[in-house]
Amino acid sequence: MATGAARKEASWSAIVLAAGAGRRFGGRKLLAPFGGGPLIEGALGAAFASPASTIILVTGSEADDVAAAARAWAERQGEGGRLQIIHAADHAEGMGASLRTGAEALPADTAGTFVLLGDMPRIPAAILPRLVEAVEAGAAAAAPICGGRRGHPVLFGAELLDHLRQAAGDEGARTALAGLGPRLALIETEDEGALFDVDRPEDLAGA
């Protein structure tokens, strides 16, 4: 992991989207047990393993409980100072509203931001510095690719942050990535954690 000094110099940030209602799961998805703690801890672990100096958690449904779980986890890691929790009041609009809320809270000097989904608990930490290398080398954005499928998280360079601030509906960040062509760096990984998300309770059982 990068040192605190390196994180500060790079000015990376991370947004963890944790506002969904989890209707297909039956509710309270991000608080469901997984790996010895609530599901949200998996995405948080990946975000905190990144070189981001600021981790922005965007809440919506079950906001108080999700925020409390995240804050407790960060404090146990001794990393409470990196966590910022904000609530997307219009989260029912869709993922775009949550992403927009998170992007609007990014520090002014952000060189780029990781976007992580709260229901993806097995993001491989090893992919994160490779995404940074790709953006530092000139890519507009970078994402893992596993078995021919684009995975998560996506690292958005500074030129795309205004697109994130205008996200709407359920499209999330797709419009920001559309048309990038080769400027979207796809980084190969064999770790299927880059694809694994939780939609229903049986997904947890399968994991």
Distances (CA, A) of 107 to 11, 50, 52, 103, 162: 8, 16, 11, 9, 13
Beta-carbon-side half-sphere exposure of residue 117 (alpha carbons within 13 Å): 21
At residue 5, the pLDDT reads 38
pLDDT digits over 65-88, tens only? 999 999 999 999 999 999 999 999
Q: Which domains can be identified in the chain, with CATH numbers?
A: 4-206 (3.90.550.10)
Window from 14-23, 100-109, 198-207 with minimum mean pLDDT:
198-207
- What are the phi and psi torsion angles at 130 (to 5°)? -70, -35
At residue 206, the pLDDT reads 67
Share of the chain above pLDDT 70, in %: 94
pLDDT digits over 145-169, tens only? 999 999 999 999 999 999 999 998 8
At residue 171, the pLDDT reads 72
d(CA 202, CA 204): 5
